[in-house]
Structure 1
Amino acid sequence: MMERDQLVRRYLNVDGFRRGAMRVLPRPVFDFTDGGAEDEVTLRRNEAAFHEPALLPRPLQGVAERDLSVDMFGTTLSMPVMIGPTGLSGMLWPDGELESHRAAAAAGTAYCMSHASTVPIEALPKTGHRWMQVFVYKDRGFTRSFVDRAAQAGFDALVLTIDNQTLGQRERDTRNGFSIPPKLLLKVMAAMAIRPNWLWRMRERRDFTFANYAAIEGGADRNTLAGRMNALLDPSMSWADVAMLRKQWAGPLILKGILHPADIQIALDHGVDGVIVSNHGGRQLDRAASGLDALPAVAAAAQGRMKVLLDGGIRRGVDVLIAKAMGADACLIARPQLWGLAVGGEAGVAAVLEILRRDLDRALCLCGVTRFADADASLLAPGVVPSTRPKAIAA
């Protein structure tokens, strides 16, 4: 297996890892990680939004050394790029969640564990900065049990995903005959057969499952668990559920899936510490606004009273700088780390993080910015509608 720096030299950028993942994964598995809902308009919009803003560099600022660190709920991260929650990472690489967590911890940044991980909450080492994702289910006791387990395991923050009232229609998966868990249809088996390296490394993890649910439900098989999880999604979830979790969880509480600025004051009233401006990577509501397009108004509504994070469409370090100029405190990545995981496990994820770190450092230097935390709307050319909020307060 190649080391991180070898992978950085070989793949150069995040898109290189995407192409690499396409070569090593069976097509149905790749499309599961790569695809979006319906016509994938929002999926494409997420990336395209970063192509519009133009930067106005100021070269003569004396920036021999740059500081990429950010404060996140009283903890210093080495860089403003964190790993967001992605379900079934262990389908790309054995125990993929553990691999990604190690890479994030080594890079000095945060890792958010998915509720649908292939290793249980308790198996994630108590190293680095660890966040836990939860859903609201019809059985609220089931939701609360996840929160209790995260607290007992010492996670640093709780991330409630709120844009999952029902599953989006992901048509690539339907066309590929792909399901969770994979059904051994002829087309699926044929796609797997032409990826022998993936088959070989997965040979001892062929029975991967939704580990957090298996532990609670007494070790049910994947088919039973998948059906039960989908049936548990609850369109009636509301702000009352946020209040319930706020009462139960003592640490930072973050809402993932905010796009409308009117939700910010309500979130503040419910004691929420941060929001992730997100459309679920374009995997839920097609035609939803891109996170970057929604960001300025959300950040303006927050007025520095909570952390405002962004996910969706981050492919270059300069994208992170643009997000900061438009009001984000930091960003999360999902697909890029999955592509890195598929190519090289921990080393692949580490390489993706390193590429983004180097890209961002270079962008700061060329823009004349010494500290990432100081980047603001003055970097943006006229025509971009930036956040009007004051500098974020420490939280």
Structure 2
Amino acid sequence: MKQNSLLEKRAARAHCVEDFWPLARGCLPRSIYDFFDGAAEDELALTRNRDRWRQITLGPKVLVDVKKVDLSCEIIGGHSPMPLAVAPTGGVGFGRHGGDIAIARAAATMGIPYTLSTSATASIEQIALAAPGRLWFQAYILSDKDELQRLIDRAFSADYEGLMITVDLPVGGKRERDLHHQLSFPLKFTPRNVLGFAARPAWALRMLTQGVPVMENLKEMQRRSASTVRKSTSSVGKHYDPSFNWNDLQKIRDGWKRKLIVKGVVRPDDAVRLVEMGIDAVIVSNHGGRQLDAAPATCDALPGIVRAVNGRVPVLVDGGIRRGVDVVKARAMGAQGVLVGRATLFGALAAGEPGAIRALEILQDEAARAMRLSGITRIEDIDSSLLFTSECGS
């Protein structure tokens, strides 16, 4: 109870989602913090994602009765109280034990979809039991195809409503913060990182008393694997299949009888081909800037994909979403909704389940406030006319 009270007080100190970043940094060893915060190479894609959302402006309508606003909408075939889902984030338990479950419970509390990562530190079954709600399972394309199929079958048996295939990780990005820290997973102790671990005694004590977490969905494969980490990458991507192609995706489409979502698309021609294949939703994403550093900002990639898909399937977007007004902007640009990863992740790292809930509440409140200030009462009424153009200002 005392621990929960402390976490709730810490969560209450956040008034925007980025308030959780310094709170998390104060709790975590530098190497662990950088693993979650960092991106690939010069981290330009990470910066572009965030900066481009900030540059989009809206043309607010005035003298509209906005006493009541309604954020509810459809998200990939199901009702949601706001146009937002939780993106997959891996390895959360290395920052806070039980972090995956904390985020999943926060999503269930708010009534929004939650996506479990292949590289989570909670299993498919643990999440289904602890946080029943709208669940999607994000599958990385493993080189061990039998293991990949076992994971997909487990998600089906656990009644996950959607399968999300991430297609922008044929190999791991060059995440230089991890390389500088000599950080890899499963977590290894080296002379360089042990001192950093010791500098956060509360974190270190939890690791000693509760045990070092493992990536629950991959642990059997990791036990069998003799793979080594290449010097040019972090440990991320070492079990993945760089030969995976359109034919392989078609086999997954044919075998999965529920919603199939593809994440990691920035090209309109790829989106069109996915629609023609029978995919149920496309997520515009550059992996949070953690893969190709030269990838476009998702905000810039979104309009072309929306035009190309032309309403045939939902289009969602992630990357750099830090404010509720970004949700409104995404809807105005044609997205059905957004996915947030780092917002709920850092909420949980800083303050557990109360932190993840607080992050979602902040985004929801900011989105509602932005709608009121824009003269919009229903999320379903937001369209491109809300975007500020030269005609608005003339």
- Match among 220, 236, 243 for residue 236 of structure 1: 243
Residues 74-126 of structure 1 show CA distances to partners (whole Å, capped at 9, x for unaligned) of: 31111222111011111111121111111110011111000011121111135
Q: Provide the aligned length of Structure 1 versus Structure 2.
A: 381
Aligned match of 1:129: 134
Aligned match of 2:102: 99
- Cα 1:184–1:15 change in 2 (3 A) is same
2:200 counterpart of 1:195 = yes
- Match among 309, 320, 332 for residue 325 of structure 1: 332
Residues 286-332 of structure 1 show CA distances to partners (whole Å, capped at 9, x for unaligned) of: 01101111000001111111111111000000011111111111111
Cα deviation for residue 230 of structure 1 reads 4.1
Alpha carbons 2:262, 2:279 under 8 Å: kept: yes
TM-score by length of 2: 0.92
- Match among 175, 180, 184 for residue 185 of structure 2: 180
2:169 counterpart of 1:164 = yes
CA distance in 2, matches of 1:95, 1:130: 17
Aligned match of 1:52: 55
Aligned match of 1:13: 16
SS at match of 2:338: strand
Residues 86-95 or 312-321, more deviating: 86-95
CA RMSD after TM alignment: 2.0
- Cα 1:2–1:367 change in 2 (3 A) is farther
- Cα 1:90–1:256 change in 2 (3 A) is same
2:274 counterpart of 1:267 = yes
Letter in 1 for 2:197: M
2:74 counterpart of 1:71 = yes
Cα deviation for residue 142 of structure 1 reads 2.4
Aligned match of 1:388: none
2:297 counterpart of 1:287 = no
Cα deviation for residue 250 of structure 1 reads 0.7
Q: Which runs of 5+ in 1 are unaligned?
A: 385-395
Aligned match of 1:312: 319
2:310 counterpart of 1:303 = yes
CA distance in 2, matches of 1:230, 1:300: 32
CA distance in 2, matches of 1:283, 1:229: 10
SS at match of 1:85: coil
Residues 224-233 or 120-129, more deviating: 224-233
- Cα 1:226–1:144 change in 2 (3 A) is farther
Letter in 2 for 1:103: A
Listed as ranges, the matches of 1:199-218 within 5 Å are 199-214=204-219, 216-217=220-221
Alpha carbons 2:173, 2:236 under 8 Å: kept: no
Q: Which runs of 5+ in 2 are unaligned?
A: 230-234
SS at match of 2:13: helix
CA distance in 2, matches of 1:3, 1:269: 51
Alpha carbons 1:242, 1:270 under 8 Å: kept: no
- Cα 1:260–1:230 change in 2 (3 A) is closer
Aligned match of 2:41: 38
Cα deviation for residue 182 of structure 1 reads 2.7
